[in-house]
Amino acid sequence: MCNRYRPVSVTVIRDVFGFTLLEEPQPLYATGGIGPLQPGPFIRKDAATVGQWGLIPWFSKTRKPTGREGRPISTNNCRIETVATAPSFKGPWARGQRCLIPALDYDEPYWGTGRNVWWRFGRADRDLWALAGLWSEWTDPATGHVVPSYTMLTQNCDAHPLLNRMHKPDPTLPPDGQDKRSVIAIERADWEQWLHGSIDEAMALVKLPPEHLFAHGPADAQQQAALL
């Protein structure tokens, strides 16, 4: 799963995806990144949109996502294995509302030292990440305002030699049964298939990137220096 990433600029969205965002980027786009419930850009079939990172289900009582009973829920990540059945996500998934989330890099917690050290994952080829997502729109019942939102899809990465080192291990589970989670990267050649293909064609793109694709290390410069 991912709870922090750095989006690309509106210039990159224009030059790479061919869409012009009507909203100016907020300062946090270019700084340390964004977290759940903050605004970020995502790419739909026919447009680029800025929306809330944390998909708002149609039944949510508030802009901060809630379940049917009104309790807050976390929707910034969605498991690909249950996307077709989870109440918050099954509607957008069935309607083909898949999106790409363009990112410079993203952060994950590394626990190899016995404490959390945030690691940053960019690409060794210096390209951007296009992370698999799902989007929706929610109408505020009080104001009628339409709020776009999105979630990142995640996959199991227990078998990946790099990604399975992230996140705090559960001592009650075996090493090969931790259900560590990772985002799903869609390569440039597959962007059209992800956005416009059938559900089966989209699912065929769900796979773990090879280890050599990553440029990675501690996100904080002081932490990085201490580990060298």
Contact 120, 107 (CB under 8 A): yes
Say how far apart CA 31 and CA 187 lie, in whole Å.
Answer: 25
Report CA 66 to chain centroid distance, whole Å.
Answer: 19
Strands 146-156 and 48-53: parallel
Which pLDDT belongs to residue 140?
94
Distance CA 16, CA 1 (A): 26
Cβ neighbours of residue 128 under 8 Å, at least 6 residues apart? 8, 12, 16, 102, 103, 104
Pick from 100, 109, 95: nearest CA to 129: 100
Whole-angstrom Cα distance, residue 151 to residue 154?
10
Averaged over successive runs of 10 residues, the pLDDT of the chain (228 residues) comes to 89 93 57 86 95 97 95 97 98 98 95 89 97 97 95 96 92 86 98 98 97 93 42
- In this predicted structure, what is the pLDDT of residue 137? 98
Which candidate, 212, 190, 209, places its Cα nearest to that of 124? 212
Tell me phi and psi for residue 207, to 5 degrees: -160, 160
Cα gap 191→197, rounded to integer Å: 10
**Residues 21, 13 contacting (CB under 8 angstroms):** yes
State residue 228's pLDDT score: 36
Q: Which domain holds residue 216?
A: 5-227
pLDDT of residue 32: 67
* Number of domains comprising the chain: 1
CATH number of the domain bearing residue 150: 3.90.1680.10
pTM, two decimals, is 0.92
Res 85: pLDDT? 98
